[in-house]
C-alpha cells in the first residue's frame, strides 16, 4: 500500500499476544523443581491403576531433570526407601519426615484420602498443590476444592466436577483443571517374536504320547522325581473306546472300522 507525502501512514494496531507455539522453546533452561507427594501405595509393591497413572505422569518429569519424592501413608511389603524408575519412594515405616519435607518442596501432590493432609500443609507456606481425581465421588471433588491444579483422568470426570463445583464460591474453585488420560508408554509393552518351534516337538496342550489325538512321541517325559522312557508307538497300548462294555472289547483298530466313529477315539 502506498501513502501520499501529505498524509503520514496510519499506525498499525498493536499485536495481541497469541497462544504460545508448540515449537517455541524457552531461551534459558528452567530450573529443576522438587515435587513431594503423599499417596496410599506405590509400584511395584502396590499395583493399582491410580498409582500407575501417577507414576506414568511422573516419569516425564524425571526425564526433564526434576526430582520427585513420594511418601506412603500405609504400611506395605517394602519397608526401606527405594528408587523406582527415578522416583524416590519412602515407605510408611520411614515417612515421619514427610511434614518437614512438605515445608521445603516446590510442589505438593496427592490423591484420594491424603488430599486434606497435603492441602493443610500446603496452605501454611502457600505451596502449589496438585490433586489427581480418578473418580466422580463427591468427597473427591470436595477435597480437591481450592487446589492450584486438578488433574482429571477423563472428560467425563471433568464434567462431573463442573456440576459439583457449580454451587461453590469462586475462592474455593480449583485454580486450573486439565484432563490427562492414563499415559501408556508403548516401549513398556513391546514384545519379542516367539522363537521358531521345532516341527518335531509337541505343542502345548497336545498329548505327547497320544498319536491319535495329534500328539508326537518324545524321547522322555519328565515326571515328579524321575524321568520315564515311553514305549515305541507299535507297543503302546491302544486307547479304550468309551462305548465298549469292557476295557478290551473295542480297541482302536476296531473303532476305526465303525460306521459312526467316536470323536477323539476313532
- Residue at 148 is within a domain: yes
Say what the pLDDT of residue 197 is: 59
What's the domain count of the chain?
A: 1
Residue 221 lies in a domain: no
22 assigned to some structural domain: no
Residue 125 to residues 102, 103, 117, 151, Cα–Cα distance (Å):
9, 7, 14, 22
pLDDT value of residue 153 = 96
CA-CA distance, 141 to 159, in Å (whole number)?
11
For residues 150 and 133, is the Cβ–Cβ distance under 8 A?
Answer: yes
Confidence at residue 194, expressed as pLDDT on a 0 to 100 scale: 74
What is the largest distance, in Å, between two alpha-carbon atoms of the chain?
A: 123
The residue range of the domain holding 168 is 34-186
**pLDDT at residue 217, rounded to an integer:** 44
Q: What integer pLDDT is reported at residue 73 of this predicted model? A: 96
The one-digit pLDDT tens for each residue of the chain (266 residues) are 444 444 455 544 444 444 443 334 444 457 899 999 999 999 999 999 999 999 999 999 999 999 999 999 999 999 999 999 999 999 999 999 999 999 999 999 999 999 999 999 999 899 999 999 999 999 999 999 999 999 999 999 999 999 999 999 998 999 999 999 999 888 888 888 776 656 655 555 444 444 444 444 444 444 444 444 444 445 555 555 555 454 445 554 455 455 555 555 54
pLDDT at res. 31: 84
Give the C-alpha separation, 126 to 132, whole Å.
Answer: 19
Q: Confirm whether pTM is higher than 0.85.
A: no
pLDDT reported for residue 190: 86
Residue 95 lies in a domain: yes
Residues in the chain: 266
Give a yes or no: residue 228 inside a domain. no
Answer yes or no: is 203 within a domain: no
Query: Nearest CA to 74 among 88, 60, 91, 86?
Result: 91
Residue 199 located in a structural domain: no
Q: Any residues with CB less than 8 A from the CB of 210 and at least 6 apart, and which?
A: 239
Is residue 130 one of the residues assigned to a domain? yes
Q: What is the CATH number of the domain that holds 161?
A: 3.40.50.11010
* pLDDT at residue 191, rounded to an integer: 86
pLDDT digits (tens, 9 = 90+) for 51-69: 999 999 999 999 999 999 9
For residues 121 and 145, the answer to whether their CB atoms sit within 8 Å is no
Amino acid at each position: 500500500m502506498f501513502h501520499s507525502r501529505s498524509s503520514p501512514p496510519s499506525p498499525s494496531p498493536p499485536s495481541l499476544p497469541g497462544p504460545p507455539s508448540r515449537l517455541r522453546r524457552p531461551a534459558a533452561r528452567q530450573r529443576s523443581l522438587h515435587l513431594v507427594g503423599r499417596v496410599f501405595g506405590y509400584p511395584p509393591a502396590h499395583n493399582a491403576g491410580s498409582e500407575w497413572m501417577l507414576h506414568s505422569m511422573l516419569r516425564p518429569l524425571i526425564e526433564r531433570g526434576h526430582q520427585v519424592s513420594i511418601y506412603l501413608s500405609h504400611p506395605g511389603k517394602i519397608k526401606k526407601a527405594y528408587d523406582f524408575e527415578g522416583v524416590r519412594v519412602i515407605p510408611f515405616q520411614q515417612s515421619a519426615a514427610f511434614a518437614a519435607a512438605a515445608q521445603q518442596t516446590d510442589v505438593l501432590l496427592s490423591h484420594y484420602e491424603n488430599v486434606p493432609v497435603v492441602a493443610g500443609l500446603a496452605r501454611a507456606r502457600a505451596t502449589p498443590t496438585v490433586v489427581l481425581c480418578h473418580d466422580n465421588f463427591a468427597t473427591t471433588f470436595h477435597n480437591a476444592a481450592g487446589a492450584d491444579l486438578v488433574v482429571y483422568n477423563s472428560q467425563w470426570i471433568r464434567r462431573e466436577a463442573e456440576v459439583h463445583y457449580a454451587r461453590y464460591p469462586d475462592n474455593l474453585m480449583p485454580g486450573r483443571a486439565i484432563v490427562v488420560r492414563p499415559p501408556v508408554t508403548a516401549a513398556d509393552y513391546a514384545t519379542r517374536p516367539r522363537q521358531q518351534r521345532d516341527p518335531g516337538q509337541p505343542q502345548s496342550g497336545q498329548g505327547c504320547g497320544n498319536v491319535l489325538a495329534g500328539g508326537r512321541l518324545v524321547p522322555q517325559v519328565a515326571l515328579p522325581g524321575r524321568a520315564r522312557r515311553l514305549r515305541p508307538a507299535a507297543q503302546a497300548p491302544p486307547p479304550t473306546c468309551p462305548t465298549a462294555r469292557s476295557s478290551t472289547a473295542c480297541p482302536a483298530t476296531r473303532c476305526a472300522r465303525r460306521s459312526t466313529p467316536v470323536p477323539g477315539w476313532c
